[in-house]
Structure 1
Amino acid sequence: MPDSLFDSAACALAVTQEDGSILHVNPRLSDWLGFSAAELQGRRFQDLLTMGGRIFYQTHLAPMLRMHGSVTEVKLDIRHCAGHKFTVLLNASQRQQPDGVVYDLALFGTTDRDKYERELLNARKLAEALLQEKTATELALHQAQAELSEAYAIAQRRALFAEQMVAIVSHDLKNPLTAIRMASDFLQRGERTGKERQLLGHIGQSSERAQRMIADLLDFTQARVGQGITIKAVPLDLHNVIQHAVDELRVAFPAATLVHHAEGLGQACLDADRVQQIIGNLVANSVAYGDLLQPITITSRLGDNACAVAVHNHGPAIPETLLAGLFEPMTRGTDQGSDVRSVGLGLYIVRELARVHGGDVAVSSCVMAGTTFTVMF
């Protein structure tokens, strides 16, 4: 190797005899060790190593060079003249000279490589820790999902059981309630004092209210547990059906003023009983929450191959925050009127009956115009 390349090499270089005696070094090795080239010449390379390095040189490195003629990337600790040590990677090869065998040594500093390896090891440990944390998190998530699914299944069974119990109890209440109404009607036929007639009137009104509540409960359980609410739609005169329903509701709600408006001509294919149930629920809702000093208006409309029924009342507006969920079961627009309606199913039943007729229900409410429920069929 030309001296210029030897002296300017990017790594530390040395040439030794077979016994390790140094023949020649480049400036980089001198700088690393803190010795001059003259001070290093004649010294044995293995004497520059730590105790562990000298043992490794004698037992492994020197025999491998003699047997194989070369070694690659052997990690050694070498001492500076000041006493501190640093780590190098040694590559060595055997070269035959006329006067004997020499070894060419190339030493590479490992500071940056060691730092990189430490960072790599730390990154690996961090990745393993994150993987372990991720695995633990996924396990906890799966466990939470399983517990949630089990809790949901239990809640579903409880809800189904509760709805079935409501259906059973509501059905069983019909017979004693019918007996109470029949007895009340029979007692009203005889001679009664004013106080007795007033009490019998209260009994009749309460039993009618209870019957409406039971009907709502039965329809609710049929919609949620059974096969859905059923109807028997036939051609009918919508205006007559609504007028008949309004006449009956005037008796049920004597404190309210009910006004019926009919618009348009023609027939509609609907279930008359279910339409009357819709009107009954909407009027009862208006009685509960509206201003009874002003009339409740029921409008039936026919025309353009469509029909609709609207119930309007004056009074406080329904809060905007409640409008979106107003037709959900067990929902109320206000706490008022609890003496009239004690089960929050009326509007839910109205929506289900409208949908089973192929239509829907909408509501508009403001302080000036009042509240209007419109059922489109």
Structure 2
Amino acid sequence: MAPLEDFEDLFDTAPCGYLSLSADGVIGHANQRIADWIGSTRADLVGCRLQEIMSVPSRIFFETNVAPLLRLQGFVDEVAMDLIGRARTKVPCLVNAAERRDAAGGLLFTRLTVFRATERRRYERALVDAADATERAAAAERETSELREQFIAVLGHDLRNPLASISSGVRLLTERETVTPRGRQILTLMQGSVIRASDLIDNVLDFARGRLGGGIILARDAQFALTPVLEQVVAELASVNPDRMIDARFAVDEPVGCDRVRLGQLLSNLLGNAIAHGAKGEPIIVRAQTRDGVLEIAVANGGKPIAEATMKRLFQPFFRGDGRSHKVGLGLGLHIASEIAKAHGGSLNVNSDVDETRFTFTMPLIESTCRS
């Protein structure tokens, strides 16, 4: 037969602290476990008021919250308190308390079970600190991102004025001054740089506007033809890339309800991408047509096919793909083209194999509200 449990030893050495308070809050019984935790003895604890071994914040919380709740419902569970030991050391605890009353409802005593919670409170504090640090880091990142995008927007806007002056100067020299063949070649290169810089600024501004909440803004207009805009884009890029063959054919039933400037920007980005990354010895194919209620603009070039991993990120901002880091550009052209396609209610897709890489924009020919 198992020996009878020694209840006095169980009370004294239980894995938790026990306290019993008289009706006036004086400690009448205490076990050795809680005495050891605070560096005291059972004899020293008996006769003390509970508040005397509490930290000041815990004492205030007990008197203003725990005691009234005890009177109201007769018990409280898992109350966080800090007990203070002889050496003024703080002992984090969780306390359960329950009252015993007589038949008339008078308070006889209050029993408290105390659990040491040092590790738990340290873990909770670490979680709070980690959450605070994460929030601070996220807030700092948001602030930095907003400042960066605002800076990009302002910088892009301010760059337009000197760029316009350069473009005007090049045009005046080309049209009104006598220029040597070598000088004309240099002016052509300068004009190409101006066009490219202007495209970069457009892309940067559109990206910044989108990140700051403005989105791609459309100005749909069905009164003017789209084809002349597309032809102008091809002519400009062909003039500054005379070594590249561009085969452009357009069969668009005019007018088209679209933002002609934005679709010109889309074509410029796609054609510029083909010039930068396509095989130099092969022609670049540009097609625009309307059929079956759909506008389709496609740009195709030969060369090495795009890797599958790269295809998945091709339309992400600032992404230029493997093996393309030496190319000039911010990696925004395809992203902006994709956003323009979405704003028109259309899509921009890419297919790439050993024969060609083809980007295709499709848009339903229906009047719809502009998306931004």
Give the structure-1-normalised TM-score.
0.63
Aligned partner of residue 203 in structure 1, secondary structure: helix
What amino acid maps onto 2:137 in structure 1? A
User: Are 1:315 and 1:370, in contact at CA under 8 Å, matched by a contact in 2?
Assistant: yes
Partner residue of 2:211 out of 217, 224, 228:
224
Structure-1 separation of matches of 2:272 and 2:281:
15
What amino acid maps onto 1:371 in structure 2? T
Structure-2 separation of matches of 1:309 and 1:279:
8
Correspondence 1:109 to 2:97: no
Partner residue of 2:264 out of 268, 271, 276:
276
Correspondence 1:184 to 2:170: yes
Give 1:268 deviation, angstroms.
Answer: 2.7
Counterparts in 2 of 1:316 and 1:275: CA distance versus 1, 3 Å: same
Structure-2 separation of matches of 1:355 and 1:202:
33
Which deviates further from its counterpart, 139-148 or 234-243? 234-243
Partner residue of 1:194 out of 165, 168, 181:
181
Aligned partner of residue 268 in structure 1, secondary structure: coil
Partner residue of 1:353 out of 332, 335, 340:
340
Aligned partner of residue 334 in structure 1, secondary structure: coil
Query: Which residue number corresponds to residue 161 of structure 1?
Result: 147
Query: Which residue number corresponds to residue 248 of structure 1?
Result: 236
Structure-2 separation of matches of 1:349 and 1:334:
20
Structure-1 separation of matches of 2:325 and 2:240:
16
Aligned partner of residue 171 in structure 2, secondary structure: helix
Correspondence 1:142 to 2:128: yes
Structure-1 separation of matches of 2:227 and 2:179:
38
Give 1:163 deviation, angstroms.
Answer: 0.9
Please show how residues 37-76 of structure 1 align to structure 2 within 5 Å. Answer: none
Q: Percent identity, aligned pairs only?
A: 29
Structure-2 separation of matches of 1:138 and 1:261:
68
Query: Which residue number corresponds to residue 315 of structure 2?
Result: 327
Which sections of structure 2, spanning at least 5 residues, go unmatched?
Answer: 18-32, 34-93, 95-113, 364-372
Give 1:313 deviation, angstroms.
Answer: 0.8
User: Are 2:16 and 2:116, in contact at CA under 8 Å, matched by a contact in 1?
Assistant: no
Structure-1 separation of matches of 2:351 and 2:127:
45
Aligned partner of residue 257 in structure 2, secondary structure: strand
Query: Which residue number corresponds to residue 205 of structure 1?
Result: 192
User: Are 2:246 and 2:283, in contact at CA under 8 Å, matched by a contact in 1?
Assistant: yes
Query: Which residue number corresponds to residue 37 of structure 1?
Result: none
Correspondence 1:308 to 2:299: no
Structure-2 separation of matches of 1:264 and 1:192:
39
Aligned partner of residue 269 in structure 1, secondary structure: coil
Structure-1 separation of matches of 2:257 and 2:116:
67
Counterparts in 2 of 1:284 and 1:264: CA distance versus 1, 3 Å: closer
What amino acid maps onto 1:224 in structure 2? R
Counterparts in 2 of 1:309 and 1:131: CA distance versus 1, 3 Å: farther
Structure-1 separation of matches of 2:123 and 2:194:
58
Counterparts in 2 of 1:186 and 1:238: CA distance versus 1, 3 Å: closer
Give the structure-2-normalised TM-score.
0.64
Structure-1 separation of matches of 2:149 and 2:204:
9
User: Are 2:315 and 2:334, in contact at CA under 8 Å, matched by a contact in 1?
Assistant: yes
Counterparts in 2 of 1:121 and 1:375: CA distance versus 1, 3 Å: farther
Query: Which residue number corresponds to residue 98 of structure 2?
Result: none
What amino acid maps onto 1:284 in structure 2? G
Structure-2 separation of matches of 1:240 and 1:175:
26
User: Are 2:227 and 2:252, in contact at CA under 8 Å, matched by a contact in 1?
Assistant: no
The structure whose RCO (Cα within 8 Å, separation 6+) is larger is 2
Query: Which residue number corresponds to residue 295 of structure 1?
Result: 283
Correspondence 1:362 to 2:349: yes
The one-character-per-residue Cα deviations of 1:98-140 (angstroms, maximum 9, x if unpaired) are xxxxxxxxxx7237x89xx69x956999x99996534432321
User: Are 2:188 and 2:240, in contact at CA under 8 Å, matched by a contact in 1?
Assistant: no
User: Are 2:16 and 2:115, in contact at CA under 8 Å, matched by a contact in 1?
Assistant: no
Q: Across the two proteins, how many residue pairs are aligned to each other?
A: 265
Correspondence 1:375 to 2:357: no
Counterparts in 2 of 1:195 and 1:267: CA distance versus 1, 3 Å: closer
> CA-atom RMSD, angstroms?
3.0
User: Are 1:327 and 1:351, in contact at CA under 8 Å, matched by a contact in 2?
Assistant: yes
Which sections of structure 1, spanning at least 5 residues, go unmatched?
Answer: 1-10, 12-107
Structure-2 separation of matches of 1:229 and 1:376:
17
Query: Which residue number corresponds to residue 151 of structure 1?
Result: 137
Structure-1 separation of matches of 2:118 and 2:325:
59
Query: Which residue number corresponds to residue 16 of structure 1?
Result: none
Structure-2 separation of matches of 1:173 and 1:277:
18
Which deviates further from its counterpart, 312-321 or 250-259? 250-259
Higher Rg: 1
